Amino acid sequence: MGKIIAIANQKGGVGKTTTAINLAASLAMLEKNVLLVDADPQANSSSGLGLEVGNIDCTIYDCLINGADPHDAIYTTDVPNLDIISSHVTLAGAERELFAINEGRELLMKKMLTPMKSEYDYILIDCSPSLGSITVNAITASDSVIIPVQCEYFALEGIAQLLNTIKLIKRKLNPDLQIEGFLLTMYDGRLKLANQIYNEVKRHFEDLVFKTVIQRNVKLSEAPSHGMAAVQYDADAKGARNYLALAKEILSKQKA
């Protein structure tokens, strides 16, 4: 049975999409069957893996709002074992449309993705920088959450609110929900600040912090403009190696 992991932090630009693309591609390279679900109207995961977002007929929006069969929304990528459900800018309007549904509006993504668990080893959901109803849907559908934390000023800003949302979802909608881990991103070991943030996150969240840290690496930011995961674009780049190490850490945790 597959595992669904949401990648969430309502703070913008912390590395959610970079993590979604490269962790998904790394797990796929380790021979897991992976589905990446782009749940952000910005559709960065979709375009970052080379999809022409404007030309896609069936997206997550159609599945959530129009009841389309999720199988019709699955597209293959150039990475073997990695499929994707694309997003579209229309998803921004779905927040409002979901509001009109009284009963079970938080459960739509769970209904959409649960049957997929028998078809994939991992389903990763790239969330938008918001705690709106699409993100609540994503976390409700998930077995666990990865929280990327950028090694920058105000890194922990908003984390209390995110943890509170996770706690509420766990209490009301998804009792088995776990935190997969806090992931430090864009780490530059030469900077005192990066080390301070690392220590602060470790002090707060202890064993919930991934041992793997994602370093700041230009290949990670270049790869999406070529429509590729960094692990395809330059597998030797330190950022690509970091994501492969993260995939291995997650696999070994699941075995333990």
Ligand X SMILES: Nc1ncnc2c1ncn2[C@@H]1O[C@H](COP(=O)(O)OP(=O)(O)OP(=O)(O)O)[C@@H](O)[C@H]1O
Q: Is 43 left (phi over 0), alpha (psi -120 to 50) or beta?
A: left
Measure the CA–CA gap between 147 and 133, rounded to whole angstroms: 18
Using CB positions, name the residue nearest to Mg ion.
17
Q: What x-and-dash track marks residues 172-211 binding Mg ion by CB under 5 A?
A: ----------------------------------------
Look at the alpha carbons of 173, 179, 182, 185 in this order and tell me if their dihedral is positive or negative. Answer: negative
Structure-token pair, residue 198: 């690392």
Question: Cβ–Cβ contacts within 10 Å for residue 207, how many?
Answer: 7
Among 11, 15, 16, 70, binds Mg ion (CB under 5 A): 16
**Complex with ligand X: residue 2 or 224, whichever CB lies closer:** 224
Quick check: 225 and 233 in contact, CB under 8 A?
A: no
The least CB distance from residue 147 to ligand X, in Å, is 11
Pairing of strands 74-76, 34-39: unpaired
Grouping H, G, I as helix, E, B as strand and the rest as coil, residue 74 is: strand
Q: How many residues at the interface with Mg ion, by CB under 5 A?
A: 3
Quick check: 195 and 189 in contact, CB under 8 A?
A: yes
The least CB distance from residue 20 to Mg ion, in Å, is 7
Q: Which of residues 72-111 bind Mg ion (CB under 5 A)?
A: none
- Binding-site ranges for ligand X (CB under 6 A): 12-18, 40, 42, 44, 129, 185-186, 214, 216-217, 220-221, 239
The least CB distance from residue 6 to Mg ion, in Å, is 13
**If contact means CB under 5 to 8 A according to the sort of partner, which of ligand X, Mg ion, none does residue 181 touch?**
none
The least CB distance from residue 172 to ligand X, in Å, is 25
**If contact means CB under 5 to 8 A according to the sort of partner, which of ligand X, Mg ion, none does residue 18 touch?**
ligand X
Residue 17 near Mg ion by CB under 5 A: yes
Q: Is 240 left (phi over 0), alpha (psi -120 to 50) or beta?
A: alpha
Residues that bind Mg ion (CB under 5 A): 16-17, 44
